[in-house]
Amino acid sequence: MKKLYLNTGRMNTIFNDLKDSLNGTLTLENNQYNLTVKSKNAKGVIRGIMLSQQISYMEFDIVFHKDTMLSMESGINSPIWFTYCFEGNLRHSFGINGKIKKVKSDQTGIVRNTSAINSIFYFEGFKHIRFSILSCNTSNIENTDLFSGLDKVFRNQNGNYITVATQNFLIAKKIKEFKAVPQKGMVKNLLRKRILESILEIELEQYSYGYLKDIKPIIALANKQIEELKRVSNLSISAMFSGVNLVSRNYLSRMLKEKYHLTFSKSYNQKLVS
CA distances from 63 to 26, 50, 91 (A): 17, 24, 15
Q: Hey, which residues does 36 pair with through a beta bridge?
A: 25, 45
Domain count for the chain: 2
Same domain for 152 and 28: yes
Confidence category of residue 273, pLDDT binned at 50, 70, 90: very low
Confidence category of residue 253, pLDDT binned at 50, 70, 90: low
At 65-107, the pLDDT tens digits run 999 999 988 888 889 999 999 999 999 999 999 999 999 999 9
Same domain for 151 and 47: yes
In this prediction, residue 182 carries a pLDDT of 85
For residues 33-48, give the mean pLDDT. Answer: 96
At 128-153, the pLDDT tens digits run 999 999 999 887 665 578 888 899 89
Backbone conformation region of residue 262, classed left if phi is above 0, alpha if psi is from -120 to 50, else beta: beta
Same domain for 74 and 132: yes
Angle at 14 between CA 138 and CA 44, to 5 degrees: 120
The candidate with the shortest Cα–Cα distance to 82, out of 178, 221, 215, 191, is 178
The residues near 10 (Cβ < 8 Å, ≥ 6 apart) are: 50
pTM of the model: 0.76
pLDDT surpassing 80 at residue 235: no
Same domain for 135 and 55: yes
Same domain for 102 and 60: yes
In this prediction, residue 217 carries a pLDDT of 57
CA distances from 100 to 55, 132, 212 (A): 26, 19, 30
In this prediction, residue 212 carries a pLDDT of 38
Hey, which bits of the chain come out as E strands? 2-6, 25-29, 32-38, 42-50, 55-64, 68-72, 80-87, 89-94, 101-104, 107-113, 119-123, 128-136, 160-166
Same domain for 126 and 7: yes
